A and B are shown apart, each in its own frame.
Chain A
Amino acid sequence: MTPSASLKSTEPRLKVEGLKTYFFLDHGILKAVDGVDFHVGEAESVGIIGESGCGKSITAQSMLQLVRGRGQIVAGHAVLRRKQGEMVDILSLDPDSAEMRSVRGDDASIIFQEPMTSFSPVHTIGFQIGEMLRLHTKLSEAQIRERVIAMLGRVGISNPEVRIDEYPHQLSGGMRQRAMIAMALICHPQIVIADEPTTALDVTIQAQILDLMRDLQDELGMSIVYITHNMAVVAENVSRVYVMYLGRVVETTTTERLFKDPKHPYTQKLLRSIPHPGRPVERLEVIEGSVPSAVDPPRRCGFFTRCPSAMAGVCDAAIPALTKVDDEHWARCFLLSDEKEAEDEWSSL
């Protein structure tokens, strides 16, 4: 049974199955996302956690069909329940179609890590935030201005009636990130994908921004997918976690269980390799080596090269399937189950 099959009675806001996003490079195929399943419920927050190169950001971009260049979503479904209740498979839409554009920003929006590069430097923040309303509503310019000022105030920007006419470079990093959140939320989307929303910020500002997102979530009832490498951000803000490694989800469960009883050797090692505030140790445990390349990966467990419990002839002979190991707890490891991942047309590529 897969995680998405265990849903409670309510239908999820977004349900992703079998997502594969590959980059067709000169020297091979980079399997950035190689079969990812996840779902997020109504007004729920989930976290996708992993190190650089695990595919978490490409997963986020795939959700809104923002993958460009040599990247291509080769397989998968992402079924979103839209504002009016109709179901749409985002991945079946043409990325440039009117329908896809109506999803982006209105039903689902994304908050990027670096607000400096996500805003255009030559337009005021007010114009750029208002652009969303111009696209998705029939409001007049005066109404749009009013809504933008209200939203800027809501995300904690002081003097919003003045700041609305400022350019991104006139704002501090924390203020730009607030403006970015205002832009993502201005159309009251049902789901927000936050890709490292606080990584570039100081801890004090990070705490303010995360508080703000929780308040807005309580108020507006949106679902949030946090994409991050920061264990503590996950621990404090989400109810369930997906741990990614080399393009796949290797473990998923509730946040409490993940920290209390991690099952996958990667998650176990990862939790012991970070310093936990308030719980100092003499030495940190180390995961030897670094994340291997995802270009033409061999068909074996992605963690095989670094795993202390790797079994030759088993873990390097097939890819373990994501299987249920406990209540609400799934992991992808041959130590826990013999089940192998089924091959498909992309496996041999």
Chain B
Amino acid sequence: MSGQASDDNAILRVEQVSKQFVSRSGIGARNAPVIRAVDNVSLHINAGETLAVVGESGSGKSTLGRSIVRAIDPSQGAVQLKLDTGEWVDLARLSERQLRQLRRHFHMIFQDPYSSLDPRMTVFDIIAEPLIYNERVSRAEARRRVIEVLELVGLGERHLNHYPHAFSGGQRQRIGIARSLICKPRLIVCDEAVSALDVSVQAQILNLLKDLQQRFGLAFMFIAHDIAVVEFIAHRIAVMYVGRMVELGETRAIIDRPLHPYTEALLSSVPMTDPTRERSGKRLSGEIASPINPPSGCHFHPRCPYATERCKAEIPQWRELEPGRFVACHFAAELRLAGMIQSHTPHHELHK
């Protein structure tokens, strides 16, 4: 069911969302520089699907995630969420009070398992907080539900009265996941949820997220910079650059046959775990442009090896080049771009 490109099964529809910040030095000043952190982004996520959002730091991927769960208020656009009743609500337009009643339907998991849990609260209090807040359940009922989710994430009743400092990074991330599951949400936004974990612990958490998704039909928006992790967990990938979406499509299609030069460059930068493989010669030069004063036309043109005069002058249209395959590049149909270089070492040598 999951991974389909059409949006019949969508539970989230992000429509032309933008977020502008006023540069801190300019608050109150006239002509304060405006930072377009997210610029007219549209996407959808299906039930049971993982959509990864990738890009360099400064691409706006975290701001997009935070705008969706209303950790910050989007400046324009709609964030449509489908409720259990089948009814759609626009999260962007809700008042704080209305929002509070709907918060249990979506949740966010953060990168740093050390700073995202309150050190003075026990595991029970941390996990039960959203439940007691949202559903006004009795303490006994809360206890039962907390133990249930703790077991789902591989912890148990014995951990109920411990404080966060007693846990390792991986266990803390499990506690964060348990907290996000307690109200049975439909959508979880994971912002670099495994980036701070050790490699051996990362595998545990990635498998856990996959299991939970299959069991409960959860939708994940998975914000990440590690393409190998994204390739493992995501059904579709959205690529952002300086606030704009530049490409979106199914994971294999994006990785094997990118349509946007930025995606191609990103893939060629990924270091490979195969020492026999030739290193890719293609390198992205320079750094990501500043969103305060982004380049004209296509934001990527100063770093793009295929750029022409048109790219400097004209903003490329966000268009559906093939079914489910969106791209914002004037020359997407003509360019023949390289995907991630496949390994020489056969698959079975490392993974049976």
Contacts and interface: CB of A to CB of B under 8 A. Distances in A.
B287 A174 contact: yes
B113 interface: no
Contacts of B171: 290
Interface stretch (A35-43, A88-96, A125-133, A267-275): A267-275
B202 interface: yes
B231 A286 contact: no
Contacts of B210: 283
Contact of B198 (A256, A285, A290): A290
Contacts of B287: 172, 174-175, 205
A286 B203 contact: yes
A279 interface: yes
B14 to A, nearest CB: 24
Interface in A257-312: 259-260, 269-281, 283-288, 290-291
A140 to B, nearest CB: 34
A116 interface: no
A71 B94 CA distance: 55
Interface stretch (A229-237, A330-338, A340-348): A229-237
Nearest to B231: A280
A284 B272 contact: no
Contact of B199 (A51, A172, A205, A260): A51
Interface stretch (B183-191, B275-283, B291-299, B318-326): B275-283
B273 A235 contact: yes
Interface in B243-288: 255, 265-266, 268-276, 279, 283-285, 287-288
Nearest to B59: A202
A276 B56 contact: no
A230 B271 CA distance: 9
A204 B56 contact: yes
B272 A232 contact: yes
Interface stretch (A5-13, A206-214, A313-321): A206-214
B200 A280 contact: no
Contact of B231 (A211, A232, A277): A277
B201 interface: yes
Given A229-B198, A273-B203, A260 B342 contact: no
Contacts of A230: 271
Contacts of A284: 203, 206-207, 232
Contact of A274 (B202, B207, B270): B202
B89 interface: no
B95 to A, nearest CB: 38
B293 to A, nearest CB: 14
Interface stretch (B27-35, B63-71, B129-137, B222-230): B222-230
B24 interface: no
B232 A236 contact: no
A323 interface: no
B57 A51 contact: no
B271 A260 contact: no
Contacts of A1: none
B234 to A, nearest CB: 10
Contacts, number: 146
Contacts of B228: 232, 274-277
B170 interface: yes
B200 to A, nearest CB: 4
A259 B273 contact: yes
A283 to B, nearest CB: 6
Given A51-B200, A174-B287, A205-B287, A275 B229 contact: yes
A275 B270 contact: no
Interface in A220-257: 229-233, 235-236, 255-256
Given A203-B227, A269-B200, A281 B272 contact: no
Contacts of B226: 203
B344 to A, nearest CB: 10
B349 interface: yes
A208 B345 CA distance: 25
B270 A277 contact: yes
B237 to A, nearest CB: 12
Contact of B273 (A206, A274, A288, A290): A274
A52 interface: yes
B227 to A, nearest CB: 6
Given A206-B269, A272-B351, A278 B340 contact: yes
Contacts of A174: 287
A277 B270 CA distance: 8
Nearest to A202: B56
A202 B57 contact: yes
A229 B285 CA distance: 25
Contacts of B349: 260
A33 to B, nearest CB: 18
14 contacts: A52-B198, A203-B227, A204-B283, A207-B271, A208-B283, A229-B199, A230-B271, A232-B273, A259-B345, A272-B350, A276-B273, A277-B272, A280-B232, A281-B232
Interface of A: 51-52, 172-175, 202-208, 210-211, 229-233, 235-236, 255-256, 259-260, 269-281, 283-288, 290-291
